[in-house]
Chains A and B, each alone.
Chain A
Amino acid sequence: MNGQTGTFTIDIHHVTRVEGHGSIRIDVRQGVVEEVKLCIVEANRFFESFVRGMAPEEIPWVVGRICGICCVGHQLAATKAVENALGLAVSPQTVLLRKMLNESQFLQSHILHVYFLAVPDFVGAPSVLPLIKTHPEVVKRALRLKKLANDYTAVLGGRTLHPMANTLRGWRRLPDLDELERIRQRLAAALPDLLETVAIVRTLRLPDFERETEFVSLTHPDEYALYDGAVRGSDSGQPVPVADYRQVTNEFTMPHSTTRWSRWHRESYAVGALARVNNNVDQLHPEARTVAETLGLRVPCFNPYMNNVAQVVEIVHCAHHSLSLLETVLDGGLVEEDIGFQPGPGRGVGAVEVPRGILFHEYAFDAQGRCCDANAVIPTSQNINNIERDMQALVPRMLPHLSRNELTLHLEMLLRAYDPCISCSVHMLEVDYVE
């Protein structure tokens, strides 16, 4: 049944295969779209409030619990913010190890999203499970790649989820060089698997939909910015220092709702893999640039479904870049460093790119060195405004051509393409009015 002219409501309650709880509601009256809303129904856990009173080194350890899938990113953003607050110096060795730790999470998260959460839509399966029978080689490759990425994190951080070897200023226990060498060998041996991943994604037919928006990401003069840099918006030439992040995120409350949304130079902006590739494409590893060309990702690219493709491009980038970082560490070795510090008062901001986009943390400490203020701006909460505007643009365009089920699928795919992490979105304050 194509073409919707009646009056109806589509209510996709608790969208599946996304991290956290969200719902989509569409109201159509006499064939006219009255409202498209993305409702966040996740329970609030009040991290920014209850971390008050904690010691500096406890902050990254606890706020990593905001999200399992982005735990490394939350740890790193918080670590940098606390270090900035207390004026703590960090060695080049520590920066190198943190870049690797961050990239290991990019690999893990992007592989999980592309294979487990996104691919099933494109082959018409409700989950990855039926693919075990129909596409066993795909599932085995996905598990192999994911295991490698998880082991990479574990070798660096002590375990895959909520790692504890890394802390303020450096590492409590340095990674074992023999284990890093084995990761290097496995990563080098996995490059053909990555090409197979590219080949699969090349066969996926992505919906043809574009809406121009601003892309916001870190940018760095010397490298494809994932761990460090200044904040760049594609609508403006001049990057903004991370400490001034509130100029960028401009969190605001809509009169008709209480979600805290973000906007910078225009009504909304997007963060994440597609934003990073759009902003910093020239700094991608040459192999990753080739993959972008192979998959038809040409900047500027305004099709949000292409975020899946941008993730594959970044998987290839992180694999090659990690190989060179691993070689640097293996050639130079690692030395034990003094990571002690004196707690005291101060305020600081830290930002990193995490798989879903730019992540900001800010902390303040009192004279006793106890946390007295905290703020985090999460990629998904920055994207929510942009996602809802995409949906508002998509629904009227697709309504005459798609059945209700197809439209539902397209909207779920759109939401999943952003790889939203709703557990992370502690800043959401929107109500699901559905009875």
Chain B
Amino acid sequence: MKPRVAFFDFAGCEGCQLAVLNCEEVFLDLLEQVEIVEFREAMSETAHRIDIAFIEGSINREEDAQRLRDIRARSRILVALGACANMGNVQARANFTAPAEHFKRIYGSADRDRVQTDPRFWSLWAHTRVRAVHEIVAVDYRLRGCPMVAEEFLQLVKALISGAQPRQPANPVCVECRLHEFECAFDRGDTCLGQITWGGCAAVCIGQGYRCDGCRGLLPQANLAAHRQLLSERGLSDTDIRNRYRLFGSGEALGEEQRP
């Protein structure tokens, strides 16, 4: 029987689901091998039993956490799809400011007060904290990056279909820069998070003349103290460094350990 695959979205841009739809060349072949049973962005059906559930987006509210637990309960394998699901992504930066302050900045004081004092708003608007999927349920596999990398998605799906153990080597982005012979961002006079960030993205940002902002998350063996020192030597102030780490890595509290 074909594996039953489902896609679920929480707080995010839905770009990772779009990246799945963007696998045009293999899309039809893929559909020969799996049965897609739930994919709200593209279809109307829903399912009760799932072999592989892909979770996109961060978990921001308790009702979302409940929905996620329900999905986990009916799924055999659960995959965190993209940076929002894996680490909270850019919106986890909101965790450093009180929700009431966000409401005031965006909607004004009157609406902030209404949301906080009228119980009818609480279930949807009680803003807990931006959380990654693994903070709430067990995650079997991770597809990192903002957006996720289509090749990694297809490799994982193929491995899961065939019962093979998926491989995701823990190399920094720098390994891929050297492989593709890209000029180092530091040599261009820029600063970069490539040394401390999970690779697998083909260092696409550096290849396009940009730097790595760490959207794939902190590598387990990364030497954060040395990296901080490097950025400091390149003239970044403590505030600059914290802001850089907080662009994509707020959910991992990157660089927060040395806060005064």
Contact = CB atoms under 8 A, between A and B. Distances in A.
A164 B101 contact: no
A110 to B, nearest CB: 14
Contacts of B243: 53-55
Interface stretch (A154-162, A224-232, A273-281): A154-162
A105 to B, nearest CB: 12
A349 interface: no
B218 interface: no
A403 B26 CA distance: 40
Contacts of A19: 14, 41
A25 to B, nearest CB: 14
A382 interface: no
Interface string A1-21: 000000000000010111111
B106 interface: yes
B5 to A, nearest CB: 12
B11 A58 contact: no
B13 A68 contact: yes
A46 to B, nearest CB: 4
Interface in A333-389: none
B209 to A, nearest CB: 3
A136 B100 CA distance: 51
Given A44-B60, A173-B209, A423-B13, A65 B45 contact: no
B40 A65 contact: no
A128 B61 contact: no
B200 interface: no
Given A41-B124, A43-B60, A253 B14 contact: no
Interface string B220-251: 00000000000000000000000100010000
Interface in B1-58: 9-19, 21-22, 24-25, 27-28, 31, 36, 39-45
Nearest to A148: B24
Contact of A49 (B97, B121, B146, B208): B97
Contact of B209 (A45, A172, A432): A172
B27 to A, nearest CB: 6
Nearest to A260: B107
- Main SS class of interface, A: loop
Interface stretch (B68-76, B85-93, B132-140, B167-175): B85-93
A432 B124 contact: yes
B8 to A, nearest CB: 11
B43 A50 contact: no
Given A46-B91, A66-B13, A146-B22, A126 B97 contact: no
Contacts of A132: 28, 31
B124 A126 contact: no
A116 interface: yes
A33 interface: no
Contacts of A18: 41
A160 B130 CA distance: 26
Contacts of A431: 120-121, 124-125
A112 interface: yes
A27 interface: no
Interface residues of A, number: 66
Contact of B13 (A61, A65, A167): A65
Interface in A50-100: 50, 52-55, 58, 61-62, 65-69, 71
Contacts of B120: 431, 433
A356 B114 CA distance: 30
A206 interface: no
Given A258-B111, A431-B124, A45 B101 contact: no
B205 interface: yes
A112 B21 contact: yes
A169 B19 CA distance: 28
B127 A44 contact: yes
A143 interface: yes
Contacts of A140: 28
A52 B64 CA distance: 26
A46 B209 contact: no
A150 interface: yes
Q: Which of A20, A65, A423, A427 has its CB near the most chain B CB atoms (within 10 A)? A: A65
Contact of A42 (B11, B31, B36, B96): B11
Contacts of A432: 124
A177 interface: no
Nearest to B104: A49
A164 B111 contact: no
Nearest to B112: A429
Contacts of A161: 15, 18-19, 22, 147
A126 B64 CA distance: 25
B45 A127 contact: yes
Contacts of B44: 16-17, 126-127
Contacts of B11: 42-43, 45
A49 B31 contact: no
A301 interface: no
Interface in B107-129: 107, 110-111, 114-115, 120-121, 124-125, 127
8 closest Cβ pairs, A-B complex: A68-B15, A127-B43, A172-B209, A158-B208, A173-B209, A147-B24, A43-B11, A68-B13
Given A54-B243, A127-B42, A128-B43, 15 more contacts: A17-B41, A21-B9, A43-B11, A49-B105, A50-B93, A52-B105, A61-B213, A65-B146, A68-B15, A68-B17, A68-B147, A69-B13, A132-B31, A162-B147, A258-B114
20 contacts: A14-B40, A41-B124, A44-B125, A46-B94, A48-B105, A49-B97, A50-B94, A54-B243, A66-B13, A68-B16, A69-B18, A127-B42, A127-B44, A139-B28, A143-B27, A150-B22, A161-B22, A164-B205, A427-B106, A429-B111
Interface of A: 14, 16-21, 41-50, 52-55, 58, 61-62, 65-69, 71, 112, 116-117, 126-129, 132, 139-140, 143-144, 146-147, 150, 158-162, 164-165, 167, 171-173, 253, 258, 260, 423, 426-427, 429, 431-433
